A and B are shown apart, each in its own frame.
Chain A
């Protein structure tokens, strides 16, 4: 799941090197936290969250195959 999110997000942003996905798992649920360059936030979230919601939908498909639930959150970007 982590690889899927990384693969999608890196193909959508201008700064693929700054894409990080942190995964924490417990028995039934995986939480994925995504961080991207501040400039890429808009691209990853999309208008009305359309992009991130579509990514969530796709990750759910592969999570369901493992009998798990998945949460995908976008971490607030640090603006220095």
Chain B
């Protein structure tokens, strides 16, 4: 097998091997060190016979290959670095834009919250003196009503998983919660006697009768 391959190498270097066999052998030699060594030695013998060399050059091919492989690795690393730099160049403005958009969004949300809070503090605090929620679902004990009208404002049902926990204990008031949701935080309750249709229609929010 080895002799056959070596004979093919001998034929190949003299241009005496068929094209397909030549191509196949060249590929084999590129991956088989013993075959490429034979190819190397046969060429050295040829050069010595042709008096091309005064002293044979030894192992230059291996050194060249090692150096090229080393340089190729280096260029690969360099290429990767260039790619990274390119990505950074592309990413920088996008990241800047993202940060700017986030800051803008946050400031809009904060502004909205503050506006709603302002309304709560001025409008609602004047009308509601004290609210105490005992039952989150309509079982509300109201201790204060508006002086001007017989409307009563009570907080909406608690969304807490633990209805017995006071809304203040939840860490934020339900008013703040609904402000965040873009809803009016209180429900207008009407006394049975004071209820009229006009009031109901004018009210932009849900009107609920509280009857015993």
A and B: bona fide binding partners: no
Residues of B participating in the A interface, judged by any CB pair closer than 8 Å: none
Residues of A participating in the B interface, judged by any CB pair closer than 8 Å: none
